[in-house]
Structure formats: structure tokens, C-alpha cells
Structure 1
Amino acid sequence: MTALSDAGGHVLVVNAGSSSVKLAVLDPVSGRRALTGLAERVGTQDASVRIDRDGERSTSTPDDVSHAGVIEALLALMTGDERSSITAVGHRVVHGGPTYSSSVVVDDVVRADLEALTPLAPLHLPGNLAGIDATTAALPDLPQVAVFDTAFHRTMPAYAAQYAVPRSWRDDLDVRRYGFHGTSHRYVSGAAAELLGRPPGELGLVTLHLGNGCSAAAVRGGRSVDTTMGFTPLEGLVMGSRSGDIDPGVIPYVAERLGVDAAEVVRRLNTESGLLGVSGTSNDMRTLLEAAAAGDEDAALAVELFCYRAAKHVAALSVALGRLDAVVFTGGIGENSAPVRAAVLARLSVLGVHLDAEANHANGATTGGRISTPGGPVALVVPTDEELLIARDTADLA
């Protein structure tokens, strides 16, 4: 992070969830952070807020623990110069439904549309809307911009976006594959093109966002043509606590045998499955790698399943590209776990991708992100920066 510059205005980026609010004030050109902030346990009497800048932390306990209250408390921890430097507010919004294919300035019509889309993301959109409402009230003279996780994937062709379900489900209920993590996939695909020194329009990439939530995307010519997440973020790869792909017939079977409803089974697929479910101990890849090395067979199986499923989806997504120029690793695991990248790439040798073990061990730091040997598709490590992408979209529209 750095002190405020004289180069121009800053963007306040807000990521409001159901029980937390993350924010950053940053320069949309350089990406330098003037400060970051976090409100935790929003809506409870244990709510707390903090601002971090230049190695120093300011904290407070808000009197009003609502989204509006904690955002006011976060703004109150900023200096007058920091607040006055903000020229626009950008919001991460999880779902844009079938309507929004790009970022948009929030007005009354957009606000009403997002309210109507809440059934598509009932766990996320209420928090996103609360963040928009709170910053609008606190900073009424500044434009508010919604940047959608789903927007990047609106370019998927119909054969990739649609499920083979009754047409009325698509037409009347908006059941289709939306995809998520779009801001991350969009950012790293552009950054990968820069590292490769080639125009995005010439490239076929598979971007792998691996963290507690995981997804992969096929990016051809700078546009998403397929992705692993679908109607919800539950589809696709094995994740920290999400199952990823599963036969839908499992849901009524488990519900009947356990005496619970379908919603409870889906809750457990979201929160008690994935790495956590297979290992029985943890959703943290670092913990599982250590446990596997110490002989924990369940931890080893969880890691192997995670890596196998990731490689399997990379291979499948290469079909959508017609060619594979690069595999791009990002996210907390993708950027930092050399053993996971090695295990994924070992299974992708069939596509001609071969690991450079030394470069991989250094997370690509000394090779411009490249962790593969010459002569085939490239493997890259590219740190994601969703906040910067949100800030740039916001600055472009505000």
C-alpha cells in the first residue's frame, strides 16, 4: 500500500457479503492500495471493523452493526484526505442473471433488477445490495458501479451455456449455466496475454482459479467460451467445502435416507463436502498436504481427487478452445501451491504440457510466471487482482 498520490482520483472497491464487508481504496491505473478495510461478523453484537494502511491498523466497534452501520464506521476510520480522494465506488456483485453482460452504473432501474435477481443468488445478492445501499447513503454524490462475477461468462455459446432440461425451465425460470469468478478469469487471462507478449485475440487459454472456491474457464480470443461453475457455484471442480460435479440423483437419495429435505442436502454439498468432506479434517490445502506427507490416507485422497478433477476439466475445456496455448494458475492455491500445480500438470502431459520443476518451486517468480518447459502449451502462474479490475471498470464508467 502507498500514500495517496496526486495522479487522480481513487476508487473505493466494496465486496459486501452476508456477514462481512471487505473494501479497498486504490488507484485504478497503478493498482496501488491507499488502504484496505474489513468488517467482520456484520449483523451481530460481535461486529468489528478495521482499516489497514502502511503497516498500521485502526479498529473500532460499531454501534450500528448493520451493513450501513459498519460501512459508516469504516469510512469514519479514514482520514478526510482519504475520503475526499474517492471519486467512485465499485461493487463486486455475484450475479447479473441473464440481463447483465458487462459492468453498469447503478441507478434505480438497475437496483430494482438486482432485487428481482435475488432468487438466483439468495446467499450473496442481499449482502451485495446492502453494500450498494449503504455506500449510496454514506457517499450520495459518488457514482456506484456494479461489476458482476457472471458477466464475463455471458459470451458462452448456447451449447455451453444451456442445460439439457425442459425448455420452459430456461425460458420461465432462467435455468442455465451462468459461471462465476468472472472478474478473476477476465483479469488473469489479460495478464497472461501480456506475459506471453501476444494479443488476447490470438490465444486459447484455460484459466484455473484454485482457492477455497475453485473454477476453470476456457478463454478464446479474450472471451469466455465455457466454464466449470454453472447455475450456482456448486458445479464443477472439487473445492474447499463444495463437492463440485455430482449426480443429481444423489440429492433425493441422501435426503430420504437421512430424513432431511433437499435444501439440507445441498447445504451439506456446499459446506461439508469437497476437501473437507473427503479428508474429514480440513478444507485447507496446506494442512492436507502436510497430513498426506505424514501418512494420512484420507488427506492424500482429498488432494489427489482435487488435482485429478482440475486436470480433467482443463482437458475438457481445451475442446472448447480448439487449441491450447496456455494453462494459467491463479487463486490462493493456484498461486502458492507448487505440489498441486505439479500434480495437475503431471496429468496434462497428454496435452503436451510439461512441468519445469525448478520454476514451479519458485512459483514462477524468476521466469515471468512460466512453470513449463519449452515446446508445448505454456503453464503460467498469474496472481489475480479482482479489486483492480473492479476499480478499472468503475473508473471507465464513472
Structure 2
Amino acid sequence: MKVLVINSGSSSIKYQLVDPATAEVAASGVVQRIGEEVEPDVVTVEHSCGDRTFEYRGSIADHAAGLHVVFDLFTAAGQDLAHADLGAVGHRVVHGGEVFYQPTVIDDTVVKAIEDLSALAPLHNPPNVIGIESARALLPDVPQVAVFDTAFFHQLPAAAKTYAIDAEVAAAHGIRKYGFHGTSHDYVSGQAAEFLGRERADLNQIVLHLGNGASASAIRAGRAVDTTMGLTPLEGLVMGTRSGDLDPGIIFHLIRTAGMDVDDVDALLNRHSGIKGISGVNDFRELGQLIETGHPTAKLAFDVYIHRLRRYIGAYLIELGRVDAITFTAGVGENDARVRAEALAGLERYGIRVDADRNAERSRVARRISADDSEIAVLVVPTNEELAIARASAELVG
């Protein structure tokens, strides 16, 4: 049995056809720049199938059209999904609110509930719903499953998930810390335990999911007890284009003195802040090149990023009391040795010692980068949210 995993983002669709038992990827691809006004033949969709690649070139009006392109590419590759051994379609859904905290078979009621949660994730849940509805129309006889990004953090302790605002207002509007990247944090913490030959229930871990979006989590005995993202994915670490934590008074100041409205501030903090806001770029490879050339703000952007990251690592070391493993994952965490080194520099007295040679090695498999005498294991573990979604979907539909 195979599972088609669909991650329908604000302007993209990522997809994989996965065998959840073997982790083999039969096909994968990404549709980008959906709905953008582009010249014909500018957007290229590459469908990878084994050692073969199939392409579509042209503009894509909306997510429904994007999924039709995906299905056409499957057919062109000889993988007609309507007649494949397809056990389920697994959808990544960003926000489950208080309603959804485990994988859920999708029906009309579930779609409506996900749609109603769009107020909490206006950039993410609406395209998630479009992806779900399009896939249901194209594959009406295949079970569709929603796997929620917030699920792993649903049972955060009350002290960690509660914001210190009027309790009635918070209850009326669903204001609490939900956390995001939960599928990744859950998967990576499990893989870290497997790498160490330990049970998750025996381990206290800090997981650092560092990509264009970034989050950290504190996990005690397999259960998340804190995380950096909050009501929305804006809270916490400095990210590629998001500000992360800031004084809420800045928002009022910008509205009152800069003539900004709510949408202006939303765009500023989500799309034009973070690394990009300080340096002008949000790709860490470009940032590194700018630092090497002496760019005036690139080094500052890097330093601000590391400063915030170290602050949360320190907080979680104290919150957990005993830490057995610190694990880096996602695009930056898996590939940027400098970020890893700077994030943990000078922490030897806390039982953290990174081996410079191990850290400098590049690999696509789970590995240890801490020294042999490091009390806390420091790991790099590639995340695989698609496999996690595929396995959760397959388990649910039996």
C-alpha cells in the first residue's frame, strides 16, 4: 500500500508517493508560484520518479489547477493514481486548534471545521482546505486523512500554553500556545531515540527545527512540555522572513506613528522581517556569502539569529533539568555547520561539547556531532514529515 502525501501551502504544493512500510519514495515533486502572474512557461514542475523526471511548464492559476497538473504528471510517468495501490491520501494541515489533535479521516464535517480554524492560520489553513477538496474530487474512493502540525503540542502543560491575558478573552477567541512543526518534532525525537538505542520515554530532548521557518521544543519522556511557536507560527525564534518574539508594543507604535494598518503589520512581521528584514536575504547560503564579503548587516542578522536561538536552548536546559540529547534538523539545522557550532559554543560546563570535525562533515543520515566525552549527545537528524504523515495515515485507515 502506498500513501500520497500532499502539503498544500500558500503558493505551493509539495507531494510524495510513499510506501509507509519501507519509506521508499515512488515519486515526488513541488508545484510553486501558484496564482502568481507570470509569463507563460516560467513555472516548471519537475516530477521525479525513480531516475526519471517529467516536466510541466506554464502558469498555474490556483491549487485545484496545480493538483490537476500533479495528477497528469503521475499519469505521464505511468503511475495513474486512480488505478494505483493507493491506500490513503495524507494531508498536512497546519492548524488543528483545540478540535484536532490526532490524525483524522476527512469528511465534509472535518473540512468545515478546518475551514473554520482559518482565523487562527489565515495563510495556511485555506490552501490546506483547497488541497483537500481538490484531492477528494480527483480520488473520491480513496480515504483522505488530515495530519495536524499542532497535534504534538496539544497537551502542553497549562503553564506553558497559557498567555497572561484576560482569561475570558482568551477562552472566547481560542488564544493559547498551539505550537507548530509538530509532525517534525515528533518524528525527529523518535529518530534520535532510535539512533541512541534508547526508548523515547527514557529521554529528555531539545529539538531544533531550523529552516526558513524555525522552532524549538523541549521534550520530556517523549512528551512535549514547551515549544517556541505560539498561537501562530510567528512567535519564538528569528526566522527567514518572520520576526519571532518582539515587544507587542511595537505593533501599536507602528499603527499609531507609521500609518500602518493591521494587514501592513502582518505582512511586515511575517514576510519582511527576520533574517531578510535585517540583511535583505532569507537564504542562509546567501547570508553566508554576504558575511564573507563584509556585508554591513549580514553578520548582524546572523548574530541576532544565534542570540535568540541560544536564549531558548538555555531556557529549555533549565526547564528540563536533565537533557540527554540536543538535535538539529530541517534545512539550516541539517546543513549549516556554522549555525550548529555557534548555537552551542562555550557550553562545555553544561555538558555540551561539539566535535569540530564531526560537525563539519556533510551527510544525509542521522549522525552524532558531539565529542565522545560530551555528557549531552548532540545529533543531526534529517526530518521526514512526509514519511511521518504517510505512516500516520496508513495506520489510521488500517
Shorter-chain-normalised TM-score: which range? over 0.9
**Structure 1 CA distance for aligned equivalents of residues 71 and 26 of structure 2:** 13
Partner of 1:370: 368
Partner of 1:5: none
Residue 56 of structure 1: how far off its partner (Å): 2.5
Letter in 2 for 1:65: A
Cα distance per residue 1:273-305 (max 9 Å; x no partner): 1111222x2111122222223322411111111
Q: Do 2:88 and 2:142's aligned partners in 1 also have CA atoms closer than 8 Å?
A: yes
Letter in 2 for 1:163: Y
Partner of 2:329: 330
Letter in 2 for 1:310: L
**Structure 1 CA distance for aligned equivalents of residues 267 and 113 of structure 2:** 26
Letter in 1 for 2:317: S
State the SS of the aligned residue for 1:77: helix
Partner of 1:344: 343
Q: Do 2:192 and 2:381's aligned partners in 1 also have CA atoms closer than 8 Å?
A: yes
Structure 1 residues 244 and 64 mapped into 2: Cα distance closer, same or farther (>3 Å)?
A: closer
**Structure 2 CA distance for aligned equivalents of residues 275 and 106 of structure 1:** 37
**Structure 2 CA distance for aligned equivalents of residues 45 and 272 of structure 1:** 21
**Structure 1 CA distance for aligned equivalents of residues 302 and 388 of structure 2:** 31
Partner of 1:98: 98
Q: Does 1:15 align with 2:13?
A: no
Cα distance per residue 1:106-158 (max 9 Å; x no partner): 11221121111111111111100000000000000000000001000012111
**Structure 2 CA distance for aligned equivalents of residues 293 and 98 of structure 1:** 46
Letter in 2 for 1:105: V
Letter in 2 for 1:39: V
Residue 48 of structure 1: how far off its partner (Å): 5.4
Q: Do 1:62 and 1:70's aligned partners in 2 also have CA atoms closer than 8 Å?
A: no
Letter in 2 for 1:173: H
Partner of 1:39: 31
State the SS of the aligned residue for 1:346: coil
TM-score by length of 1: 0.93
**Structure 2 CA distance for aligned equivalents of residues 220 and 72 of structure 1:** 43
Q: Do 1:364 and 1:371's aligned partners in 2 also have CA atoms closer than 8 Å?
A: no
Partner of 1:144: 144
Identity %: 46
TM-score by length of 2: 0.93
Q: Provide structure 2 residue ranges, at least 5 long, that are not aligned to the other structure.
A: none
**Structure 1 CA distance for aligned equivalents of residues 231 and 12 of structure 2:** 24
**Structure 2 CA distance for aligned equivalents of residues 19 and 344 of structure 1:** 32
After TM superposition, what 4+ stretches of structure 1 lie above 4 angstroms from structure 2? 44-48, 61-64, 363-366
Partner of 1:119: 119
Q: Do 2:34 and 2:60's aligned partners in 1 also have CA atoms closer than 8 Å?
A: no
Structure 1 residues 54 and 364 mapped into 2: Cα distance closer, same or farther (>3 Å)?
A: closer
Q: How many residues align?
A: 388
**Structure 2 CA distance for aligned equivalents of residues 190 and 24 of structure 1:** 21
Q: Does 1:217 align with 2:213?
A: no
Structure 1 residues 364 and 51 mapped into 2: Cα distance closer, same or farther (>3 Å)?
A: closer
Letter in 1 for 2:379: L
Q: Provide structure 1 residue ranges, at least 5 long, that are not aligned to the other structure.
A: 1-8
State the SS of the aligned residue for 1:239: coil
**Structure 1 CA distance for aligned equivalents of residues 36 and 359 of structure 2:** 43
Partner of 1:155: 155
Q: Do 1:185 and 1:217's aligned partners in 2 also have CA atoms closer than 8 Å?
A: yes
Q: What CA RMSD, in Å, does the superposition of the two structures yield over aligned residues?
A: 1.8
